[in-house]
Chain A
Amino acid sequence: MNILIPILFLVSFCVHAQNTEKIIARLGNVAFFSYTSVENIKAQNNQVLSIIDLSNGEIAVNILMNAFVFEKALMREHFNESYIESDIYPKATFEGTISDFDSSQSEPHTRIVKGTFTMHGVTKTLDIKTKIEKIDGKYILTGTFEAVVKDYDIKIPPLLAGNIAKTISVDFRFEYDPYDS
Chain B
Amino acid sequence: MTVKGAFCIGMLVLTGSFGFSQNLLEILDEEQDKVPQFTEATFKTTRITFGHSIETRKKGVLELFVSNRFWNTPEERTQSFLSDRMSTRIALEYGFTDRFSMGFGGTTWDGLFDGYAKYKLVQQGLEGKGSPVSITLFQNATYFSEGIANDAIADDFGNRMSYASQLLIARKFSRKFSLQVTPTFIHRGLEFSEEDPQNHFAVGIGGRYKIGNHMSFVSEYYAVANPIESFNTYSPFAVGVNWEIGDLMMQFQLTNALGMAEPAFIAQTRNNFNFRNPNLNFGFNVAYIMHFKRKLKGLKQEKKP
Footprint of B on A, CB under 8 Å? 1, 3-4, 7-8, 10-11, 14-15, 18, 22, 24, 26, 31, 33, 42-44, 47, 49-51, 53, 58-62, 64, 66, 69-74, 76-78, 80-83, 85-88, 91, 93, 95, 110, 129, 131, 142-144, 155, 157, 159-160, 163, 169, 171, 179, 181
Task: Note all chain A residues with C-beta closer than 8 A to B175.
Answer: 81, 85, 87-88
Q: Does B299 contact A157, Cβ atoms closer than 8 Å? A: no
Q: List chain B residues, Cβ under 8 A from A86.
A: 40
Query: Can you list 20 residue pairs at the A/B interface with Cβ under 8 Å?
Result: A1-B3, A4-B10, A7-B7, A8-B10, A22-B27, A31-B299, A44-B299, A64-B37, A73-B59, A73-B60, A74-B247, A77-B44, A82-B213, A95-B24, A95-B25, A110-B305, A157-B245, A159-B245, A160-B246, A171-B301
Is B81's beta carbon under 8 Å from chain A? no
A81-B24 in contact given A74-B291, A159-B245, A171-B302 (Cβ < 8 Å): no
Interchain nearest-CB distance for B24 vs A (Å): 4
Contact, CB under 8 Å: A169 / B301:
yes
Size range of the chain B interface in the assembly:
35 or more
Asked whether B294 is an interface residue with its Cβ less than 8 Å from the other chain, the reply is yes
Nearest Cβ on chain A to B194's Cβ, whole angstroms:
49
Q: How far is the CA of A18 from the CA of B213 in the complex (A)?
A: 44
B244 contacts A82, CB within 8 Å? yes
Whether B40 contacts A73 by the Cβ 8 Å rule is no
Taking a contact as CB atoms under 8 Å apart, the answer to whether B305 and A144 are in contact is yes
| Bound form: Cα–Cα A31–B98 in Å | 22
CA distance A31 to B295 in the complex (A): 13
Please tell me if the beta carbons of A14 and B17 are within 8 angstroms of each other in the complex: yes
Contact assessment for A49 and B37 in the assembled complex, using a CB-CB cutoff below 8 Å: no
Q: Give min CB distance, B45 to chain A, whole Å.
A: 11
Determine the distance from Cα of A53 to Cα of B32 in the docked complex, in whole angstroms. Answer: 18
On B, residues with C-beta under 8 Å from A are 1, 3, 6-7, 10, 13-14, 17-18, 20-25, 27-29, 31-32, 35, 37, 39-41, 44, 57-61, 95, 98, 175, 213-214, 244-247, 289, 291, 294-296, 299, 301-302, 304-305
User: Of all chain A residues, which has the CB nearest B11?
Assistant: A7
Q: How far is the CB of B67 from chain A (nearest CB, A)?
A: 19
A60 touches B25 (CB 8 A): yes
A residues less than 8 Å from B37 (CB atoms): 64, 66
Q: Are A82 and B214 in contact (CB under 8 A)?
A: yes
- Contact A70 B7, CB 8 Å, known A53-B24, A58-B24, A160-B245: no
A129 touches B294 (CB 8 A): no
Nearest 10 interchain pairs by C-beta: A73-B58, A60-B24, A7-B10, A62-B28, A82-B213, A4-B6, A87-B175, A72-B291, A81-B41, A49-B28
Q: Is the interface of B mostly helix, strand, loop or mixed?
A: loop
Residues of A within 8 A of B21 (CB): 14, 18
- A1 touching B13 in the complex, CB below 8 Å, given contacts A14-B18, A70-B296: no
Q: Are B6 and A7 touching (Cβ within 8 A)?
A: yes
Bound: A100/B41 CA distance, A: 45
Q: What are the residues of chain A within 8 A of B299 when measuring CB–CB?
A: 31, 42, 44
- A10–B14 touching, CB < 8 Å: yes
Residues of A within 8 A of B41 (CB): 77, 80-81
Q: How far is the CA of A109 from the CA of B245 in the complex (A)?
A: 45
Contact call B302/A142, Cβ cutoff below 8 A? yes
Q: What separation, in Å, do the CA atoms of A156 and B304 have in the docked complex?
A: 27
Per the bound structure, the CA–CA distance linking A78 and B41 in Å amounts to 9
